[in-house]
Amino acid sequence: MRHPTLSELALYAGNDWGALTRWRVRRHITLCPACRQEVRANQAAREALRDFTAQMPLGVEWERLAEEMTGNIRVGLAAGECVGDFPVKRRSPLLRWNIAASMAMLVVLFAAAIVINMPRSDSGRLGGVVERLFGYDRSHQHTESIAAAPAFGVLEASPRLIAMHANGSTLSVAPDSASNVRVSVSLEGSAAARVVDSDTGQVTISRVYDEQ
C-alpha cells in the first residue's frame, strides 16, 4: 500500500484538494490508522492556530495604532511635495518590442509545426502554391520537377506479406513461414508471393491485384 505524503495529508486536512484526490486520500485514511492519525493531528493544529490568531496580542490599542499610521502617511505626502514633482510615468506601449519579437517567434514556430506535421501531399501542394505566388516556376528546370498526381493504390511486397492497400481496405496474403517465400511486384499492378511446401515441394503463387 502506498501512503500519501505528509504534504498531501496536510492539504487534505485543510480541505485544499480537488474532488478526485480528496476521494483517493479519504479512501486511504479509512484503511490506514497511521495516516488517519496524521490527518487528525493536522486538523487539531489548524484549529489551535485559528484560535490563537483570533486573540489580540496583549498591550495593543487599535485606536492609537490607527492614528499613528494616518500621521505617518500625511508626513510622507508633505515630504514628497517639498522635493518637487514626481516624474510623469510614461505609459508603456501595449506591445513592446520584446513581446512583439516573442509573438513573432511563436507564430514562426507554430507555422513550422503545421508544415512539418502536414501530410507530404498537402505540404507539396502548399509549397507549389507559395512558389507560384512568388513567380517561381519549377517547370523551366530540366532536372527537377514537381509531380502532383494522386496515387491510386499501394501494392506492398515483403517476405512477411504481400498486400494491396486502397480506400482504407487491405487485401493481403501472409505466408505461414518466411523461409520458403519469394515475393515480387509487377509494374502492371500486382504483388506475388511464391511459397514452396516443405513436405511435398508443391509451389503455390498467391497474387493480389490493385484494380478490378
Cβ pair 164, 183 in contact under 8 A: no
188 binds other proteins (CB under 8 A): yes
207 binds other proteins (CB under 8 A): yes
Residue 54 vs 147, nearer CB to other proteins:
147
What nine digits make up the cell of 74?
A: 500625511
140 binds other proteins (CB under 8 A): no
CB atoms within 10 A of CB 187: 6
Residues 151-170: x/- map of binding to other proteins (CB under 8 A)? Answer: xxxxxxxxx----x-xxxxx
Q: For residue 28, what is the enclosing H or E element? A: helix 19-31
Q: What are phi and psi of 55, to 5 degrees?
A: -95, 135
184 binds other proteins (CB under 8 A): yes
Among 27, 99, 127, 136, interactor with other proteins by CB under 8 A = 127
How far apart are CB 23 and other proteins at their closest, in Å? 32
Amino acid at 187: L
Among 8, 42, 43, 124, interactor with other proteins by CB under 8 A = 124
Residues 91-120: x/- map of binding to other proteins (CB under 8 A)? Answer: -----------------------------x
131 binds other proteins (CB under 8 A): no
User: Distance of CA 171 to CAs 77, 119, 150, Å?
Assistant: 87, 24, 20
Among 92, 103, 123, 136, interactor with other proteins by CB under 8 A = 123
166, 201, 199: which is closest to 191 by C-alpha?
166
CA distance 197 to 161: 17
Q: For residue 99, what is the enclosing H or E element? A: helix 97-117
Q: Footprint of other proteins on this chain (CB under 8 A)?
A: 120-121, 123-124, 127, 143-159, 164, 166-176, 178, 180-189, 191, 194, 196-199, 201-212
